């Protein structure tokens, strides 16, 4: 596809369960970002990949959150032992080179923990 | 780390008026400042950006100004239209660190 694709678009899960959120970046984009957006707030940085490696994971709130990008394209954000406070829209973005280049966002995954 | 403050949180204008949204940043090393527009339930989309080597950039009805000394930048929308209604986010990044730090957003409402 032409844009950043995220699946699923919506996910409802029970407290304590494990979830995986997928991001398909724009083909050829080496940089990939995960953000979390709560209602009425700006996107909050979680993790940044340059190629296959996590160049900056300082935004991950705790060790329940983990992300991978094994082949430098698709990325998966994994959340263990979900809590109600994890409910938010999780946005993925990609950019051609990273620093100072336009970041294109996906539609997001709305995660609801009940 | 970088901290971006954005004001106002909400802004209501009449169609045809101008709208100005202001942001300040804390990291003097930041050198890339994009603005994103997010309509309800949709993804953020870049509308304009500016780099630290210029002070102003225009694109039709939209302009952005940057004051590096004061560490603030502003979005100016002229001749506003109802379809400009959305939430606008400013952001800042340092090319050496590659992450974008966003402001909390401004909800712009343009009334016909």
Q: Output the DSSP codes for B27-76.
A: -TT--EEEEEEE-TTS--EEEEEEETT-SEEEETTEEEEEETTTTEEEEE
Contact B34 A102 (CB under 8 A): yes
Summarize the confidence of residues A84-105 as an average pLDDT. Answer: 89
The pLDDT value given to residue B104: 94
* Distance from the Cα of residue A37 to its chain's centroid: 10
Confirm or reject contact between B96 and chain A (CB < 8 A): yes
The pLDDT value given to residue A81: 98
3-state DSSP assignment of residue A41: coil
Quote the minimal CA–CA distance from B95 to chain A in Å.
4
Q: How far is CA A25 from CA A19, A62, B69, B108, in A?
A: 20, 25, 36, 29
The pLDDT value given to residue B97: 58
pLDDT less than 70: residues of chain B: 95-98
């Amino acid at each position: 596809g032409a844009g950043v694709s995220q699946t699923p678009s919506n996910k409802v899960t029970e407290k304590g369960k494990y979830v995986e959120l997928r991001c398909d970046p724009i083909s050829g984009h080496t940089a990939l970002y995960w953000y979390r957006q709560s209602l009425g707030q700006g996107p909050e940085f979680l993790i940044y990949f340059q190629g296959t490696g996590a160049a900056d994971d300082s935004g991950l709130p705790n060790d329940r959150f983990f992300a991978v990008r094994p082949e430098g394209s698709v990325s998966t954000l994994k959340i263990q032992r979900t809590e109600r406070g994890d409910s938010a829209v999780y946005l993925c973005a990609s950019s051609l080179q990273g620093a100072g280049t336009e970041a294109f966002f996906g539609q997001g995954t709305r995660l609801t923990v009940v | 780390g970088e901290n971006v403050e954005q004001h106002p949180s909400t802004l209501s204008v009449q169609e045809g008026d101008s709208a100005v949204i202001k942001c300040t940043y804390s990291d003097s090393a930041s050198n890339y400042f994009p603005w994103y527009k997010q309509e309800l339930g949709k993804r953020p989309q870049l509308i304009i950006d500016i780099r630290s080597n210029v002070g102003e950039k225009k694109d039709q009805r939209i302009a952005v100004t940057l004051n590096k000394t004061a560490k603030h930048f502003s979005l100016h929308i002229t001749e506003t239209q109802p379809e400009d209604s959305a939430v606008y986010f400013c952001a800042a990044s340092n090319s050496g660190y590659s992450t974008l730090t966003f402001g909390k957003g401004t909800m712009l409402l343009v009334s016909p």
